[in-house]
Amino acid sequence: MIQQTPLKIGVAGAGVMGRNHARVLAELRDVELTTVFDPDAVTAEGVAAAYGATAVTTAEAFVAAGLDAAVIATPNRYHAELGVALLKAGVHVLVEKPIAATTADAQAMIDAAKAADRVLMVGHVERFNPAVETVKRAIDGDEIISIQITRVGPFPPRMGEVGVVIDLAVHDIDIIRHLTGSEVVEVQSLLGHAHASREDSALLQFRMANDVIAHITTNWVTPYKTRTLQVATKTRFIVADLITRQVTEYFGQQPDGSYSTRMLNAWPAEPLKKEHEAFIHAIRTGETAAVSGEDGLRNLEVALRCLGE
């Protein structure tokens, strides 16, 4: 077998998520983390030094760094400008969710990727959570009735530029579309503002094109973190804890109310590593990315509808 040359990859944005991307990329055999970009020189140099990469402090230097691929983990408002510049330079792009701040910006990235024949993938990392994958396998071929997702926790130490719908619920919008293989046709939302001007709690309801109904409860007002996924089908009810990766199936309900249960195996794996492996696979094979730019755009559109935008 001919040994493939490692892909030269860079990370833009050296915050919490950017540092996680750098850590995972540094551990992969098929890539070489060569460049870290952050406008804060101390931050960029600190992350770059940890992995033997070069630090840059401008977007122009990052685009000109001779990369094969790049991860964009900057604030949302910078995704499109940097993403389009990278794609036009022939660089494959994995952009953190949400794909962009606006649907117009998202479409500009999609168009740039098509024009350059480059991979554009969106970092909806929960798609690669072993518990979500286990649920997806378990319901394959079943008729889904409803989906309920709870994603709650304490108020974040640093308030970003978005509320819970864009920050948290967009994960679950993607999960719902992924599990149903269908698109949202009806949206109902209730938003709360307890601690900030942007919404910090939300109750979201959806009807899919295939008539599945779905519900998301999300907030920053719960003192502990909870991530649960419940799926009801014609033949079973499945409950997944997305943190512990424990998945339980309830089935065989009898007229007397009794039923059977079993635990489903969710193979241990780091979702972010699986996300990067999927990105690399799309680059190497030319296949459509596991979470395409179009997926990212659909998820953003639904989230903005929930916000009345």
Q: How many domains does the chain have?
A: 2
**Together in a domain, 158 and 195:** yes
Phi and psi dihedrals of 224, rounded to 5?
A: -130, 160
Residue 153 domain boundaries: 126-271
Residue whose C-alpha is closest to residue 165's, from 185, 196, 195, 189: 189
Q: What is the CATH number of the domain that holds 98?
A: 3.40.50.720
Same domain flag for 61 and 139 = no
Q: Is residue 302 part of a domain?
A: no
Q: Which residues of the chain have pLDDT under 50?
A: 1-2
The per-residue pLDDT for 268 is 84
Six-digit token string for 201:
């709690």
Measured distance CA(189)–CA(201) in Å, rounded: 11
Residues 63 and 16 both lie in one domain: yes
* Angle ∠(26,276,288) on CA atoms, nearest 5: 150
> Which among 164, 130, 140, 152 has a CA at the least distance from the CA of 240?
130
Are 87 and 184 within one domain? Answer: no
> 256 and 238 in one domain?
yes
Question: In this predicted structure, what is the pLDDT of residue 1?
Answer: 40
Together in a domain, 183 and 153? yes
Measured in degrees and rounded to the nearest 5, phi and psi for residue 44 equal -60, -45
283 located within any domain: no
Which residue is listed with tokens 């794996």? 269
Q: Can you give the CATH number for the domain in which 165 is found? A: 3.30.360.10
Q: pLDDT tens, 94-152?
A: 999 999 999 999 999 999 999 999 999 999 999 999 999 999 999 999 999 999 999 99
Residue 306 lies in a domain: no
145: helix, strand or coil: strand
SS (H, E, C) 146-171: EEEEEEECCCCCCCCCCCHHHHHHHH
Do 76 and 213 reside in the same domain of the chain? no
b (16+ CB within 10 A) / e for 77-92: ebbbebbbbbbebebb
Same domain assignment for residues 114 and 149: no
